Amino acid sequence: MSMRIDELEFSKVISEDLIQLDLKATSKIEVIEELTNLLYVNGFISDEEGFIKDVMYRENEGVTGLEKGIAIPHGKSAYVLKTSIAIGRTKKQIEWESMDGNPINIIILFAVKDTDKTTTHIKLLQKVAVLLSDEEKIEQFQILQTKEEILHLLSRNL
Amino acid sequence: MNIVGISACTSGIAHTYIAKEKLIKAGIEFGHKVRIETQGTIGIEDELTKEEIEAADLVIIAADIKVSGKERFKGKRIVEIPTNIAIKAPKQLYKKIEAELNSKP
């Protein structure tokens, strides 16, 4: 696959519209609600309540907090219209089960279409997940200030 | 050592692939050759070959669900762990495996 198509696919899955660096949430459920709303208003999911239910179902199955403040909740859901990623950062540390026991402040919510036959998009999500398990990359993520910088870091490393 | 393995998590979207990456990275640090097959939501990727399995000294299965094709490893030494262990403490995992292998006569 050529570089250009990769970039095109990347922009379908992650965009500035789906990044919110000033989440007001102070709890896990509030974070998921806020990011879900972002997905909803941008037309990526069809129903907020239904999607949240699916995300919370996955939360109950196991830990989605990684290390150094990053969490990757995800919902594979019939309410997802287009597979995508919403990215949020909170001011307050959020209590969240994580691999290193630390609280969370960067949340990458994966919205995966139930019947997505486009493996390209799911593969992009996999790559983001792998990227976010790399300590050096997480550290960079923590200091970035703008949406553009975040998009750039992701696109450069996928 | 030659190590082959499988990773698989409940939703098959993220943890499967993080576990794979961590097992390979830490494995290299310990001087192992590691090949991991993923069984995720888009199916099997990087499927292990017969030859790779034959040449393997050890099999690591990092899974939170039932994996398919386990019978391929018949007669091999198998270590089974949840994906969290591979993600959280891959180095400790290899240390533990080595300690156990060394303690066996």
Q: Where residue A5 falls among pLDDT bands split at 50, 70, 90?
A: low
Identify the CA nearest to B94 among candidates B33, B48, B27, B37. B27
| B20-25: long-range contacts, CB 8 A cutoff, minimum separation 24 | B20/A130, B20/B46, B20/B62, B21/A130, B21/A133, B22/A133, B22/B86, B22/B87, B22/B90, B23/B60, B23/B62, B23/B86, B23/B90, B23/B93, B25/B90
Preferred mutation among A126, A130, A138, A158 to probe B, highest tally of B CBs within 10 A: A126
- Which ipTM was obtained for this model? 0.88
Identify the CA nearest to B4 among candidates B42, B46, B43. B46
**pLDDT score at B16:** 96
Q: Which helix (H) or strand (E) holds B44?
A: strand B43-45
* CA–CA distance, A44 with A69 (Å, rounded to integer): 26
Which residues of A fall within a CB distance of 8 Å from B42?
Answer: 119, 122-123
Shortest CA distance from B82: residue in chain A: A62
Q: How far is A131 from chain B (nearest CA, A)?
A: 8
When pLDDT is averaged across residues A84-110 and rounded to a whole number, the result is 96
When pLDDT is averaged across residues A123-135 and rounded to a whole number, the result is 89
Q: Which helix (H) or strand (E) holds B54?
A: helix B50-55
**pLDDT score at A158:** 79
User: How many domains are there within chain B?
Assistant: 1
The residue range of the domain holding B87 is 2-103
Name residues 27-66 of chain A within 8 A of B (Cβ).
58, 61-64, 66
- Asked if A136 is an interface residue toward chain B (Cβ–Cβ < 8 A), one would say no
Which tens digits make up the pLDDT trace of A53-75? 999 999 998 899 999 999 999 99
Q: Does the pLDDT at position A127 exceed 80?
A: yes
pTM, 2 dp: 0.91
For the stretch A80-107, what's the b/e string if a residue is b when 16 or more beta carbons lie within 10 angstroms of its beta carbon?
bebbbbbbbbbeeebebebbeeeebbbb
Preferred mutation among B9, B18, B45 to probe A, highest tally of A CBs within 10 A: B18
Identify the CA nearest to A105 among candidates A40, A43, A28, A35. A28
CATH of the domain at B6: 3.40.50.2300
Domains assigned to chain A: 3-157 (3.40.930.10)
